[in-house]
Amino acid sequence: MAILYAYSRFIPHLLMILVQIGYSFLYFLAEAAFSHGMSPHVFVTYRYIVGSLVMFLLAYFLERKVRPKLTLVLFLEIFVLSLLGASLTVNIYFASLRYTSATYITSMTNTVPSMTFIIAIMLRLEIVNLRNPRGIAKIVGTLLSLAGVLTITLYKGPEVQSLQGAPIHIKSNASQQNWVKGSILLVVSCITWSLWFIMQAYTLKRYPAQLSLSAWINGFAAAQSAVFTVFMQHKLAAWSIGSSIVFWSIIYAGVISCGLTVTIQLWCTEQKGPVFVTMFSPLATVMVAILAYFLFGEELHAGSILGGAVVIIGLYMLLWGKEKDGDRNKSQKQSLSTNDEEKLSHLAVESSAGRDNETGLEK
């Protein structure tokens, strides 16, 4: 039992690593879909439609008895949550991918953990004790991760010779690249993404059914993205799926990215908090750089290798600093449950004593 408990503590870590692997493949599939003429906004709408169909089906059968009642206030809260983190963030995010590259956006999005960490401290969702080594590790780990991302983004260094026999080749449309416009869109996306992770923590307290919440987020995001896309795309031809790579990219994005990964993130947010979930995003930068080199034959520079190593070191420091928080949260929950049991037993004793007194008076 002790061994099982020791390994169960790392389930959230393993799940978040799998999430980043899933996101890494999504970047290249989305880039391939865009290079085949698919509009980013249409792509986002289709993927949320697929994700909502999958998640509503799973939620209906698996959470039928445990699903909380959906009030009007909670309904509006989930609507805003979907608007902030799903339809708005992802539309801007994939629009920036059209103007830049997969390696660049994964490097820039690693500012999300730092932003989320700062916002969480301001809202007192995250506690930092600078007199404790683990508190210092959180700060240093965040700064190291950010430094690694900046290294990947700003410092290229000597080029590592690309593989000639790469199995997959994706043609990028250089005429559409606009790095200034893409960077501005990406910064806005990172800010809204950080706010989304913070808002999840509050919503999960009132609606703890992860599958159902994921289904509602995908459903609202599909409707919101559809309305937005209608205003952006006035031609019916933009909605056509012209190739198999576009079709399978939409299926992958809907089932894996919108369905499974969002559900996993919600569960990990409930277990470990929003900062824990965002801490793993730097891994996507390293994974994308590796995939770009070995599978897609893209150039790899020494700066990407150096920055990736710094990112991993910072991530481990953050995880070490956060590990104590998980133990403290569990002990707090156990103490709260113990206090509740004591209150209930005390009330039971008082009620039984009251009944005995009433019986004695009657006699």
**Band (270; pLDDT cuts 50, 70, 90):** confident
Secondary structure (DSSP) of 126-154: S---TTSHHHHHHHHHHHHHHHHHHHHHH
CA distance 60 to 66: 10
Q: Tell me, what's the pLDDT at 337?
A: 43
Per-residue pLDDT averaged across 243-264, rounded? 90
Q: Tell me, what's the pLDDT at 108?
A: 72
Q: Tell me, what's the pLDDT at 251?
A: 94
pLDDT at 279 over 70: yes
Q: Tell me, what's the pLDDT at 75?
A: 92
Q: Tell me, what's the pLDDT at 347?
A: 46
Per-residue pLDDT averaged across 170-192, rounded? 70
Residue 270, CA atoms < 13 Å, CB-side half-sphere? 15
Who has greater pLDDT, 212 or 304? 212
Q: Tell me, what's the pLDDT at 324?
A: 61
Q: Tell me, what's the pLDDT at 1?
A: 55
Per-residue pLDDT averaged across 92-102, rounded? 75
Contact 321, 137 (CB under 8 A): yes
Per-residue pLDDT averaged across 275-294, rounded? 78
Per-residue pLDDT reduced to its tens digit, 139-152: 888 888 778 777 77
Secondary structure (DSSP) of 100-132: S-HHHHHHHGGGHHHHHHHHHHHTTSS---TTS
pLDDT at 23 over 90: no
- Mean pLDDT comparison of 139-148, 191-200, 219-228, 273-282, highest-scoring range: 219-228
Per-residue pLDDT averaged across 177-201, rounded? 81
> Which structure tokens are listed for 220?
């609202």
Per-residue pLDDT averaged across 79-103, rounded? 80
Secondary structure (DSSP) of 217-230: HHHHHHHHHHHHHH
Q: Tell me, what's the pLDDT at 2?
A: 59
Task: Return the closest-CA partner of residue 144 out of 316, 294, 359, 335.
Answer: 316
What pTM, to 2 d.p., does this model score?
0.72
To 10 degrees, what angle do helices 89-99 and 179-206 make?
160
Task: Return the closest-CA partner of residue 149 out of 312, 16, 277.
Answer: 312
Contact 253, 118 (CB under 8 A): no
Write down the domain spans for the chain: 11-323
Q: Tell me, what's the pLDDT at 281?
A: 77
- Region for residue 314 given its phi and psi (left: phi exceeds 0; alpha: psi -120 to 50; beta: otherwise): alpha
- Of 58-67, 239-248, 278-287, 324-333, least confident by mean pLDDT is 324-333
pLDDT at 45 over 80: yes
Who has greater pLDDT, 293 or 168? 293
CA dihedral angle for residue 350, residue 351, residue 352, residue 358, rounded to 10 degrees: 110
Strands of the chain, DSSP E: 159-160, 300-301
CA distance 259 to 280: 18
**Band (341; pLDDT cuts 50, 70, 90):** very low
Q: In degrees rounded to 5, what are phi and psi of residue 301? A: -115, 160
| Mean pLDDT over the full length of the chain | 77
